[in-house]
Amino acid sequence: MFQELQEKFIDNFITDDRWQYIADGLITTLQVTFFAVIVGIVLGFLVAVVRSTYDKTGKLKVLNALCKLYLTVIRGTPVVVQLMIIYFVIFGDSRDISKVVVSVMAFGFNSGAYVAEIFRSGIMSVDSGQFEAGRSLGFNYFQTMRYIIMPQAFKNVLPALGNEFIVLLKETSVSGYIALQDLTKGGDIIRSRTYDAFMPLTAVAILYLAMVIIFTKLVNILERRLRSSDH
C-alpha cells in the first residue's frame, strides 16, 4: 500500500519534472488572484463611493446609474461566462493578449461588483451622527468620508472583504476555460499524462486549502489590530 502510494507520487510529480505544472500553476493562480484583488478593491471602492454619495446627497446621478448597470450585469452572469466573453469576444481578434491579463481583468471586474456592495453596506452601517459630526466641524463631504466614515466602514467590512477574496482565489480555478495554466489546470494536465486523478487533484486541493488558511490568518491579525479601539 505504502509502496504503491510512493510509486504513484513519483509517477505524478517527479517523473519528467511534473511537479512544475503544479508549481507554475500555483504562481499563476497567485498572480491572477493578487492583481484581481487590487483591481476589485479599487473598482469596488470607487463604485461604492459613487453609490453612497448618490444615496446620501442625490449627486452623481448618471454615474450612479452606470454603476448600477455594472452591478446588475456582473452579478447576474457567471464569472466563467464573463471570462470567456472577455477572452474570446472582446479580445477575440488579438490572440497575443496575455491570458493572465485577461484573467486579472475578468476576476477583477467581477470581484469589484461584490466589493462595491460590501463597501457600500459598510459605509451605510456607520451611524449618520458620525457624518453629521464631521460636517458640523467644517469637513466637506469627501473629507468626512475619508477621515471619519471610511476608516470605520473598512473595519466593519473586513470579515466580509476577507471572505470575498477567499471566494475570488478559488474562483480563479475556472481560468482553464481560456486555457490559462493555473493551479487547477496544472493538476489536470498531470492527470491527463498519468491517468491518475487522485494524486494531482488532491495536491491541488491541499494547496488551495493551505492558501485559504494562511490568508484567513492574515485577515484575523489585521482585524485584531483594527479592533484595538473597541474595548
Q: How many residues bind other proteins (CB under 8 A)?
A: 20
> Which of 102, 103, 113, 98 is closest to 43 using CA atoms?
113
Which of 5, 127, 210, 221 lies at the binding interface for other proteins (CB under 8 A)?
127
Nearer to other proteins by Cβ, of 38 and 137: the residue is 137
Q: Which residue has the cell 493562480?
A: 29
For residue 127, the minimal CB distance to other proteins (Å) is: 8
For residue 154, the minimal CB distance to other proteins (Å) is: 9
For residue 28, the minimal CB distance to other proteins (Å) is: 38
Binding characters for other proteins, 78-117, by CB under 8 A (x = yes): ----------------------------------------
Distances from the Cα of 176 to the Cα of 121, 167, 185, 187, angstroms: 33, 17, 6, 11
For residue 61, the minimal CB distance to other proteins (Å) is: 17
231: contact with other proteins by CB under 8 A: yes
Nearer to other proteins by Cβ, of 3 and 229: the residue is 229
Distances from the Cα of 130 to the Cα of 48, 93, 103, 111, 139, angstroms: 18, 51, 39, 29, 12
**Separation of alpha carbons 137 and 160, rounded Å:** 31
Pure H helices in the chain: 2-9, 19-57, 61-76, 79-84, 99-125, 128-137, 141-144, 150-171, 183-194, 198-226
For residue 223, the minimal CB distance to other proteins (Å) is: 14
At position 171, the amino acid (one-letter code) is E
**Separation of alpha carbons 31 and 181, rounded Å:** 12
At position 39, the amino acid (one-letter code) is V
Stretch 129-168 residues interacting with other proteins (CB under 8 A) = 129-130, 132-133, 135-140, 143, 147-148, 151-152, 155
Which of 4, 17, 96, 230 lies at the binding interface for other proteins (CB under 8 A)?
230
Nearer to other proteins by Cβ, of 96 and 230: the residue is 230
Nearer to other proteins by Cβ, of 135 and 170: the residue is 135
**Separation of alpha carbons 160 and 119, rounded Å:** 9
Nearer to other proteins by Cβ, of 148 and 207: the residue is 148
Residues engaged in binding other proteins (CB under 8 A): 127, 129-130, 132-133, 135-140, 143, 147-148, 151-152, 155, 229-231
